[in-house]
Amino acid sequence: MFLVIGATGNVGGKLVRLLADQGHAVRALVRAPARARFPEGVEVAVGDLDDPVGITAAAKGVEAVFHMQADPAPEQTGTFIDAMGDAGVDRVVAMTSIGAVLEPLVRMGSFFRAKEDLLRASGLDVTFLRPNTLMSNALWWRDSVRETGTVSDPCADGRMPCVDTDDIAAVAAVALTEPGHAGRGYILTGPEALTSREQVDVLADVLGRPIRFVDTTPREHADAAVAAGTPAAMGPVLEDLYSLFRTSRAGVLTDDVRNVTGRAPGTFRAWCERNAAAFR
């Protein structure tokens, strides 16, 4: 039995389905079971990372846990570590970010570094998955692509080897179910480091119509996110993150997806072809 925390997320949901398809027993931790949709046979547990009793109960009897923490608050990480001890779980596959190992750290990277440090010091057998930016982040462009045929983005000519969430889930499944991954850290990337402009060109080619790229500054984009409802405290964090991407500091390509799964990572073009309907 494997427990997936973050089971309704972009990666966790795919991981649940992949493990179930492979014939593994899976337990999915969710906040709202009425809205959860999983393959037949997947066991649903109710709770979240602020609920130590719920996490402990969900982890009882499992072989390993996939840990996805949207809010990298140290309190949640501490709650998770305590719950694993209470449940008798030793093995964890934790998704963090490439930002945890890029120097010098930006604020978002510091959050993930702190999470990794806590997990590393816990005595658990942890595998760290550190994805680069996600291909699915392009879905943030869908409204402007549909309505105005434009994309506004602050990363401009910074190179980013974005990664498909299918590949993250595939690596997670291997790390959970096969030996030899405890204590390892994998930087997960796609096969090519594209700029935002190049991503938009690929998307336009797949859709068969032009899309105009609008270059914004990291500050402008962060301010727009706050104006749209992102908490104000996240504004400087986002500005830092966009600046990191804009300067290609995250343009690190690795073979970790291929080395772990035995197959090449998916391309951004293939992702666009699968998701073209979202932009039409």
CA distance linking residue 279 with residue 143, whole number of Å? 7
| Residue extents of the structural domains in the chain | 2-132+164-189+252-265
**185, 186, 199: which is closest to 254 by C-alpha?**
186
pLDDT digits (tens, 9 = 90+) for 182-223: 999 999 999 999 999 999 999 999 999 999 999 999 999 999
Q: Do residues 167 and 236 make contact, with C-beta atoms less than 8 angstroms apart? A: no
DSSP tag of 121: H
Selection from 24-38, 120-134, 224-238 with the highest mean pLDDT = 120-134
Q: Which of 34-48, 129-143, 182-196 has the lowest mean pLDDT?
A: 34-48
CA distance linking residue 152 with residue 144, whole number of Å? 8
DSSP tag of 37: -
Q: With a cut of 90, say whether residue 107 has pLDDT above it.
A: no
Q: What is the mean pLDDT of the chain?
A: 95
Concatenating the DSSP letter of every residue in 126-175 gives EEEEEE-SBGGGGGGGHHHHHHHSEEEES-TT--B--B-HHHHHHHHHHH
What's the whole-model pTM score? 0.95
Architecture label for domain 2-132+164-189+252-265: 3-Layer(aba) Sandwich (3.40)
Q: With a cut of 70, say whether residue 263 has pLDDT above it.
A: yes
**What are the φ and ψ backbone dihedral angles of 5, each rounded to 5 degrees?**
-95, 130
pLDDT category at 181 given cuts 50, 70, 90 is very high
Q: With a cut of 90, say whether residue 103 has pLDDT above it.
A: no
pLDDT digits (tens, 9 = 90+) for 60-91: 999 999 999 877 678 899 999 999 999 999 99
Three-state secondary structure call for residue 33: helix
pLDDT at residue 72 in the model: 65
What is the residue whose two structure tokens read 């204590």? Answer: 183
pLDDT at residue 207 in the model: 98
pLDDT at residue 69 in the model: 85
